[in-house]
């Protein structure tokens, strides 16, 4: 790996920003020997997130703020990834449920020939409520039944690393949550996004490695587990329909 982009989506993250998450990320990256940049994509925050980020950027180099209209997490991540020109790209959550230091566990596998290296919480999800664990297992069952996506235990951990080449080809083909077409209110966390990313990665023949990482449950009102599960199920059905229609095939990005 020669250079790295870290993509961080942001929606009403004022509380986490005030806790110093960007200082934490910067402290880690500033110790690395490779060139890096951090692309923060603000998803139309209604609190003071943008002001906090802009203040931080004024005194720290290597940070880019992209200001989106509110579309949801998936279009924010897509925008950040496709804005990168680096050799490798990581996307991670602003709350740092998986700390940025866990990147040390993923990076060596790019040098071993893997194209996509994903963090995995496995069955140990520190602090997660029982209902969340039950629904997570149900999601895995449905994912295997509907899509046949095998060999991956945890598709939903928000800590994924890609080569620049694989990221460009995968993210330019995503169909479930295209940029500029989702408008609404609230955080709009999309369960099917990560599944589609990995499904396309497998479809294109990329080598995927899953690595256990530290993860702790962060209490949030942004994700409703029931609505998230229903949305995830509908996404998987739509994803399967897209695949049957051949929308993920071919060597050129889907328009």
Percent of the chain with pLDDT over 70: 82
Query: Which H or E element spans position 116?
Result: strand 116-120
Is 76 part of a structural domain of the chain?
yes
Is 209 part of a structural domain of the chain?
yes
Is 199 part of a structural domain of the chain?
yes
Q: Could you tell me which residue, 143 or 88, shows the higher pLDDT? A: 88
Contact present, 179 and 71 (Cβ < 8 Å): yes
For 35-87, where are the alpha helices, taking DSSP H only? 49-58, 73-82
Q: To the nearest whole number, what is the mean pLDDT of the chain?
A: 87
> What pLDDT does residue 148 have?
81
pLDDT in tens, 73-116: 999 999 999 999 999 999 999 999 999 999 999 999 999 999 99
Is 255 part of a structural domain of the chain?
no
pTM metric for this prediction: 0.87
Using alpha carbons, select from 84, 99, 127, 125 the residue that is nearest to residue 25. 99
Structural domain harbouring 180: 4-244
Work out the average pLDDT over 153-168: 95
115-119, 215-219, 237-241, range with greatest mean pLDDT: 115-119
Q: Using pLDDT thresholds of 50, 70 and 90, give the confidence band for residue 253.
A: very low
> Of the given ranges (43-47, 69-73, 134-138), which has the lowest mean pLDDT?
134-138
Separation between Cα atoms, residue 135 and residue 228, nearest integer Å:
10
Is 208 part of a structural domain of the chain?
yes
Q: List the Cα angle 8/14/16 in 5-degree steps.
A: 65
Q: Is the pLDDT of residue 254 over 50?
A: no
Give residues with Cβ within 8 angstroms of 91, minimum separation 6: 6, 7, 8, 9, 77, 80, 81, 158, 159, 160
The backbone torsions φ and ψ at residue 94, rounded to the nearest 5 degrees and listed phi first, read -65, -30
pLDDT in tens, 213-235: 998 866 555 556 667 778 888 99
Q: Using pLDDT thresholds of 50, 70 and 90, give the confidence band for residue 151.
A: confident
Is 253 part of a structural domain of the chain?
no
Q: Using pLDDT thresholds of 50, 70 and 90, give the confidence band for residue 131.
A: low
Is 254 part of a structural domain of the chain?
no
Q: Strand 159-163 vs strand 88-92: parallel, antiparallel, or unpaired?
A: antiparallel
Separation between Cα atoms, residue 56 and residue 59, nearest integer Å:
6
> What pLDDT does residue 71 have?
92
Total count of domains within the chain: 1
CATH number at residue 161: 3.90.550.10
Is 249 part of a structural domain of the chain?
no
> What pLDDT does residue 251 have?
45
């Amino acid at each position: 790996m020669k250079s790295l982009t870290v993509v961080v989506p942001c929606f009403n993250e004022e509380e986490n920003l005030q806790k110093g998450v960007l200082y934490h990320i910067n402290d880690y990256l500033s110790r690395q020997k490779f060139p890096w940049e951090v692309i923060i994509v603000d998803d139309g925050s209604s609190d003071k997130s943008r002001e906090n980020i802009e203040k931080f950027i004024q005194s720290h180099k290597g940070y880019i703020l992209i200001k989106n209209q509110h579309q949801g997490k998936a279009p924010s991540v897509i925008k950040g990834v496709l804005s990168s020109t680096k050799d490798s790209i990581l996307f991670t959550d602003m709350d740092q449920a998986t700390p940025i230091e866990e990147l040390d566990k993923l990076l060596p596998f790019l040098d071993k020939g893997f194209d996509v290296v994903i963090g995995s919480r496995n069955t140990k999800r520190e602090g997660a409520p029982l209902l969340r664990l039950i629904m997570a297992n149900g999601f895995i069952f449905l994912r295997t039944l509907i899509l046949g996506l095998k060999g991956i235990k945890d598709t939903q951990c928000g800590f994924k690393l890609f080569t620049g080449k694989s990221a460009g080809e995968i993210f330019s083909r995503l169909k479930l949550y295209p940029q500029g077409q989702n408008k609404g209110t609230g955080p709009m966390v999309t369960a099917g996004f990560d599944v589609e990313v990995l499904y396309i990665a497998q479809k294109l023949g990329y080598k995927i490695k899953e690595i256990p990482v530290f993860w702790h449950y962060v209490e949030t009102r942004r994700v409703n587990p029931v609505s998230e599960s229903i949305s995830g199920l509908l996404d998987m059905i739509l994803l399967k329909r897209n695949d049957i229609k051949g929308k993920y095939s071919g060597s050129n990005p889907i328009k």
